[in-house]
Amino acid sequence: MTLFLVVIVILGYVWGKSYNFGYGGLIIALIFSIGINLISYFKGDKLALSMANAKQIKQADNPYVYRLVENLSITAGVPCPKIYLIPDNAINAFATGRDPKTASIAITTGAVQKLENEELEGVIAHELSHVKNYDIRLMTVVILCVGLITLLADFMLRSRFIFGSRDNDNNNNGNLLLIIGLVLSILSPIFATLIQLAVSRKREYLADASASLLTRYPEGLASALEKIAKENLPLKRANKSMAHLYIASPFSATEKISNLFSTHPPIIERVKKLRAMI
CB 150 within 8 A of CB 143: no
Distance between CA atoms of 48 and 56, rounded to whole angstroms?
A: 13
Distance between CA atoms of 268 and 245, rounded to whole angstroms?
A: 19
Distance between CA atoms of 206 and 181, rounded to whole angstroms?
A: 37
Burial 214-253 (b: 16+ CB within 10 A, else e): bbebbbbbbbbbbbbbeeebbbeebeebbbbbbbbbbbee
Distance between CA atoms of 72 and 116, rounded to whole angstroms?
A: 16
Within 10 A of 184 (CB to CB), how many other CB atoms are there?
Answer: 20
Which one of the listed residues 119, 121, 127, 204 is annotated catalytic?
127
**Is 119 one of the annotated active-site residues of the chain?**
no
Write the single-letter amino acid at 253: A
Distance between CA atoms of 154 and 255, rounded to whole angstroms?
A: 25
Return phi, psi of residue 115, to 5°: -95, 140
Distance between CA atoms of 121 and 75, rounded to whole angstroms?
A: 12
Residues with a known catalytic role: 127
